[in-house]
Amino acid sequence: MAKVKGDIIIDIEKCKGCELCAAACPQHSLELSRKLNSKGYHYIVKIEDNCTGCTNCALVCPDSVIRVFRKTEKKKEQVATITNVTGDITVKVKS
């Protein structure tokens, strides 16, 4: 199974604190901060490190505040096997 690891960057100055992203996040990773941005809005912050990079939050955000990143780590494949001359050490090289 491929392991998915996501993350987001929130442009907090542009966030209007509508919480639509939080409501759309299946991982419940997002919450309103108690702090205000310079426009006077409570802004959204990531409270858990369980983001999968599903983009749901960005899709529903009216102000294009969220950038989403996703790293898909493919299962490592063996690309070579190296054995020393005496044959007592074998190293498997994975991608």
Partner 1 sequence: MNERRMLDDSHYENLIEEESVCINENLVYDKPETLTKTPMHYCPGCGHGVAHRLIAEVIDELGIQEKTIGVAPVGCAVFAYNYFNVDMSEAAHGRASAVATGIKRVLPDRYVFSYQGDGDLAAIGTGETIHTCNRGENILIIFINNGIYGMTGGQMAPTTLEGMKTTTTPFGRDVQAMGYPLKITELIAQLPGVYYCSRVAVNTPVHVRKAKKAIYNGFKFQELNKGVSFVEIVTNCPSNWKMTPVESNKWLEEHMLPFYPLGDLKLPGKEN
User: How far is Cα of residue 59 from the mean position of the Cα atoms in its chain?
Assistant: 15
The encoded tokens of residue 13 equal 């100055």
Q: Judged by CB under 8 A, does residue 29 bind partner 1?
A: no
Least distance between partner 1 and beta carbon 66 (Å): 7
Q: In Å, how far are 58, 79, 80 from 86, measured between CA atoms?
A: 57, 22, 18
Q: Which of 49, 63, 92, 93 binds ligand SF4 (CB under 6 A)?
A: 63
**Binding mask of the shown chain, residues 17 to 46, with x at each position contacting ligand SF4 by CB under 6 A:** xxxxx--xx-x-xx-------------x--
